[in-house]
Amino acid sequence: MNMKRLLSCASASAFLLCADFAAAQVSFSLDKASYGISENIVASWTNGLGNANDWIGIYPRGVTPSPGSSAYLYVNGTQSATVGVEEGSVTFTPAFLPGSGSWTAWYLIDEGYTPATEGVNFDINIDVGLGSFSLDKASYGSSEDIIVSWTAGPGNANDWIGIYPRGVTPSTGSSGWLYVNGTTVATEGVVDGSVTFAPLSLPGAGEWTAWYLLEDGYTPAAEGVDFAIINEAAAIVSFSSSSQFIGNEPITLSWTLDDAGGNAALDSLTLEDGINPSIDVNGLTSIEVNPAGNTDYTLVLNGGADTRLITVFKDTASSAAFALDRIIYTPEEEVVVSWANATGGSYDWIGIYKLGDTPGPIPSTSWNYLDGTQVGGGFFPSGSIIFPPLPEGDYFVVLLLNDGYIIEQGPVRFKVSQAGRTRFKVTDISYDQVNKQVTMTWTSSPNRVYTVFYSDDGKFSFNSDVDDSVVSGGDTTTLTFSNPVPDAQRLFFRVSENRL
């Protein structure tokens, strides 16, 4: 089995985590203090500690190193530790970097979060990659089209135009979007062109910013362009939920209306879910809901003169009926989805969506019928599908019926992150000399199984284990076991994650 390795050591009188510290001061530097978003970043050091598990971590400026770095590489320049490097450098390519902003690079010791020296601050700035980026107007009526134009674009098919509330940094959940071909399906790149947002695809009255964003991601190719939408009649400005997913507690649906400065009548406002009687919410700005399952909520103004739709999902985790093989992936890992005892129709399908997207109005990011193809056919009440790796981001997966958008299983949320997994390390180890028992605690991932090995020969052979089926306790796992070699002067332990 493929295993991730971590070492800790112990003596006969007390068990301790071990770390080495260099006698000479580590010298750590970057090749520049400011970078374009498409530039490599080279981190260099001398008088390094020589540990194979030493690593370079990047964190937002002002954040103390802890689990969840924004990017990392071991001192060998990869994300798999092999050999220590006392004097050397690593190169972060743009694909490994967190994007524009102010950051700090750290030399961190032996799989942990202890700096060997002070961090080095640096900035990543937006490269202006377009000849121009503009809108045809600065202010629009609520019934007007909005035309966004650009010149000298990079020509990527999956570049896109995103609309966000003014002051919001592009991320999951845009208020409106189109690929550069003017549709919601990427086909070909457009170097010089424009897209038209019709009123139905726009977010409504308010102050907004349009962005040219690169390759299905959230990296701007140019500065955003501000604009405003002004209502010409009573309209729903916004309709949002405090969460797209419902747990055990209610969520809040909120909305704002525009009555054109008091000149447009607000005769009626109702909330509908397609199952229960309409709720009169005229005069309110929010309401708490806690449906039993996935639900479409429609806010209806003046008998249908304006409407807004929100879909909220009952939050589910992986189960025997519908599951992912993990909840955090790297961009290089395939996503495995399995199901059991489903309807299994010929055209039932699995869809993967970006968090914030709604099946139906917004196309899936990736999909297959239950036969593993995009042709369909057969009967598959149980099975699994392997999806290709996905870009970094937050996603959810659902099983939908008969070429439609009725959800039979899910949604199950997951994340794709280059450095998002909890860094695997032993956090505590102790020895009860009276009962001759060892207690170890390590960071872990949910739904995983671990093996604890030991060695008493000082050569780290680890040919024996104390337990090869330790079920994860969640974010941390603790195991207490009898000393496997009570007479040994020193014992070494290794915790490994069993690869499914």
235-314 falls under which CATH superfamily? Immunoglobulins (2.60.40.10)
pLDDT of residue 473: 83
- The region of weakest confidence among 135-144, 241-250, 357-366, 377-386 is 241-250
Tokens found for residue 472: 């994860």
Candidate CATH numbers 1.10.10.60, 2.60.40.2840, 3.90.1150.10, 3.30.43.10; the one for domain 132-230: 2.60.40.2840
Residue 285 is given by DSSP the state S
Q: How many CB atoms lie within 10 A of CB 184?
A: 13
Q: Do domains 132-230 and 322-416 have the same CATH topology?
A: yes
Length of the chain: 500
| Domain map (residue ranges) of the chain | 21-125, 132-230, 235-314, 322-416, 426-497
Class of the 322-416 domain? Answer: mainly beta
pLDDT digits (tens, 9 = 90+) for 320-366: 899 998 888 888 889 999 999 999 999 999 999 998 888 887 889 99
pLDDT digits (tens, 9 = 90+) for 423-445: 568 889 998 888 889 999 988 87
Residue 483 region, left (φ>0) first, then alpha (ψ -120 to 50), else beta? beta
Q: What percent of the chain has pLDDT over 70?
A: 92
Contact 72, 92 (CB under 8 A): no
What pLDDT band is residue 499 in, cutting at 50, 70 and 90? low
Q: Which residue has the higher pLDDT, 239 or 16?
A: 239
Please tell me the distance from the alpha carbon of residue 105 to that of residue 424, in angstroms, as a whole number: 20
Tokens found for residue 419: 């450095």
pLDDT digits (tens, 9 = 90+) for 278-310: 999 999 999 999 888 889 999 999 999 899 998
Determine the longest span between alpha carbons in the chain, in angstroms.
88
Task: Please give the CATH topology (third level) of the domain spanning 21-125.
Answer: Immunoglobulin-like (2.60.40)
Residue 181 has pLDDT above 70, yes or no: yes
Please tell me the distance from the alpha carbon of residue 498 to that of residue 41, in angstroms, as a whole number: 34
Q: In what order do the strands lie in the sheet with 71-74?
A: 34-36, 120-125, 101-108, 55-60, 71-74
Please tell me the distance from the alpha carbon of residue 331 to that of residue 87, in angstroms, as a whole number: 29
pLDDT of residue 5: 30
pLDDT digits (tens, 9 = 90+) for 122-159: 988 765 568 899 999 999 887 789 999 999 888 889 99
pLDDT of residue 99: 74
Please tell me the distance from the alpha carbon of residue 266 to that of residue 245, in angstroms, as a whole number: 30
CA 92 distance to own-chain centroid: 20
Contacts (Cβ under 8 Å, ≥6 apart) of 104: 58, 59, 60, 61, 62, 63, 119, 120, 121, 122
Contact 83, 52 (CB under 8 A): yes
In this structure, the strands spanning 101-108 and 464-471 are unpaired
Q: How many CB atoms lie within 10 A of CB 277?
A: 8
Q: What is the DSSP secondary-structure string of 137-192?
A: -SEEETTS-EEEEEES----TT-EEEEEETTPPS-SS-SEEEETTSSSS-----SS
444 closest CA partner among 392, 496, 482: 496
What pLDDT band is residue 420 in, cutting at 50, 70 and 90? low
Contact 263, 271 (CB under 8 A): no
Contact 44, 29 (CB under 8 A): yes
Arithmetic mean of pLDDT, 363-386? 93
